[in-house]
Amino acid sequence: MPTKQRRYPLKTKQAKQILNQASAKLKLDLETLFGAKAKVEVVEADVGLIYLIDGKPLFYKTDDKILPTLLFNDFASKAPRVVVDMGAVPYVCKGADVMSPGIVRFEGEFSKGDVVLVVDLKHGKSLALGESLYDVQEARNTKKGPVVKTFHYVSDKIWDYIKTLTE
């Protein structure tokens, strides 16, 4: 259970800066998605800063980067996907980078450094979010080694914490 937590709203100007930073990283217009007056709150917790948009934990901050959580369904529905075979699932769910031999296919276009969603082949469930180490064409031609650097996955400490915020 978390030992410390502080929750407070952001001023409009700060909220806009956070949304702009996240928009640039995700290549998605978040102001249009949430509206100009979205209620942005911050939860300071042991795991770091969690940003709630209209009460939902959609972003977190790490190393001065604003990154999406796996609960950000609007992003997940539009994000480029890396589909992995069922043998890769337990490893990805423990935070392993996505390796080329475990990838079945790519859905959508992405460039090196873009945020991609990792899903399983059988159910299409979201397993992780990561940063692509290649653009989509290079990734298709890669036969060994990591293709996606995982930064957030099911069962990590961010995931466990944000689940407590939604219960």
Identify the pLDDT of residue 167: 65
Mean pLDDT of the region 32-51: 88
> Domain ranges in the chain?
5-69, 75-153
Identify the pLDDT of residue 37: 79
Topology, domain 5-69: Nuclear Transport Factor 2; Chain: A, (3.10.450)
The one-letter amino acid code at 116 reads V
Identify the pLDDT of residue 12: 87
- Asked if the model's pLDDT at residue 25 lies above 90, the reply is no
Topology, domain 75-153: 2.30.130
Count CB-CB contacts under 10 A for residue 70.
Answer: 24
Mean pLDDT of the region 84-113: 96
pLDDT band at residue 4 under the 50/70/90 scheme: low
Mean pLDDT of the region 153-163: 94
What is this structure's pTM? 0.91
Mean pLDDT of the region 90-102: 97
Identify the pLDDT of residue 3: 57
Tell me what percent of the residues of the chain surpass a pLDDT of 70. Answer: 97
Identify the pLDDT of residue 73: 92
Identify the pLDDT of residue 92: 97
Any residues with CB less than 8 A from the CB of 108 and at least 6 apart, and which? 79, 80, 81, 136
Three-class secondary structure of residue 53 per DSSP: strand
Three-class secondary structure of residue 65 per DSSP: strand
The alpha carbon torsion through 69, 80, 24, 20 (nearest 10 deg) reads -50
Identify the pLDDT of residue 5: 82
Mean pLDDT of the region 90-114: 96
